[in-house]
A = this chain, B = another copy of it.
């Protein structure tokens, strides 16, 4: 931990890489665009998984596992789908020493293979809805990669559901968007914008794609999860049909929705600072670290004993770590755990032992402001309360940051200025050409058409072409 992390103001992208490598969150793999999720990063991912999985189950979903390999011909059944994914596929051509008759695709997403199975399993309206989620890794060949945000292989979950009606499918699609929003807000401390994607940003094969978008520390947007109403497109391509109550054959309506380890990148980028990571308490692998402090040998035993006793008292309620390594100074440890983003530091020295107290330091307020003396009696409750406070503070800070950096430009000149350094909320006519021109001229993309539109029904004028516009969209430079 000798080298310092590049400051964000100097090179944001380098700061991001430095933090990830230095905090041992992840490492580059020897295969281009691939990544290793190291134990500290994986522990964060496990907490993300738990937070999502319990929400999926509470809304009636079950997990399952579908194969890694998809026959090439399956992907070709839905025209838009294959067109969208063709350039990104990894292809297995040989197995067991022989050339395969039909190449196999390493799944880039599983609509095709799951559609095939749903068509076998679903017979009657009584089998509906089918509500299944899968945790797995998928592969999309990426040319320009960045850890967590764009990797050739990534871990994710993908939900796939089938319904009897359009309305049910739409309700499911929106419900899962709300689930992602709830998870992002409450667990990841990330305020998100919920919206619809424009046609050009839609998932290949979907009728409607919804998204949650968050703002990173450099004011760029990050698409953090998507939920797709697939209409009957996949049901028709894969013949997913059911007999309705009148005994007539109908096509199902299907949805899919996913969140990937990208959200981990969002967490690191949205909350981190020049000292390193700042992890939201609810997801932090270590919520509080105890650092024993002593200089004289005589103090060693009482301080370590107190530290160990405290550690024991936290077990089962707080994810606690005691750093009792002998080879490092307390100061070195402070830096180390700050860099790793541990929300609360608990210092115990000889004076604290004597006074039955500890010093609590909070990661979101480094320096004196965030330090306080607290009695060892009832310490677990005090730390729990502090963790809650930090969680709320991180969310509020991120929300204020986004609000401070979202503008409402009145004309295209203001718009260009705005998107160079913030989000812009602007009237948009719905035309893909305006969207493309804006991207070409400003590098800003249409992130979403927020679900939450102002109540004004009169509409306005498209920020680019000036024609009548019914909705506002959020534009910004994005990852």
Contacts and interface: CB of A to CB of B under 8 A. Distances in A.
Interface of A: 27, 29-31, 34-39, 41-43, 45-46, 62-71, 74, 86-97, 103-104, 106, 113, 116-117, 120-121, 126, 132, 136-137, 139, 141-143, 152-153, 155, 327
A96 B27 contact: no
Contact of A116 (B30, B38, B43, B136): B30
Contacts of A96: 87-90, 141-143
Contact of A39 (B41, B62, B92): B62
Contact of A91 (B31, B89, B92, B142): B92
Contact of A90 (B86, B92, B120, B155): B92
B67 A132 contact: no
Given A88-B96, A91-B95, A96-B143, 13 more contacts: A30-B113, A36-B117, A39-B63, A42-B64, A65-B155, A69-B90, A69-B139, A89-B95, A90-B92, A90-B95, A90-B104, A91-B92, A92-B92
The residue among A92, A93, A142 with the most chain B CB atoms within 10 A of its own CB is: A92
Chain A interface helix/strand/loop/mixed: mixed
A103 B62 CA distance: 36
Contacts of A34: 67-69
A50 to B, nearest CB: 11
Contacts of A142: 96
A120 to B, nearest CB: 7
A84 to B, nearest CB: 14
B30 A66 contact: no
A81 to B, nearest CB: 17
A246 to B, nearest CB: 16
A365 to B, nearest CB: 29
Contacts of A30: 71, 74, 113, 116
Contacts of A27: 117, 120-121
B31 A153 contact: no
A43 B66 contact: no
Contacts of A46: 63
Nearest to A69: B31
A29 B97 contact: no
A465 B27 CA distance: 54
A152 B74 CA distance: 19
A155 B62 CA distance: 17
B36 A63 contact: no
Given A69-B34, A95-B91, A141-B96, A113 B29 contact: yes
16 contacts: A29-B66, A29-B117, A30-B116, A36-B65, A42-B64, A67-B153, A68-B137, A69-B153, A90-B94, A92-B106, A93-B93, A94-B103, A95-B141, A96-B143, A106-B106, A136-B137
Nearest to A93: B93
Contact of A65 (B37, B65, B66, B91): B37
Contacts of A106: 68, 92, 106
Nearest to A325: B126
A46 B69 CA distance: 22
A312 B238 CA distance: 40
Contacts of A45: 65
A91 B93 contact: yes
A143 B139 CA distance: 26
The residue among A35, A62, A63, A68 with the most chain B CB atoms within 10 A of its own CB is: A68
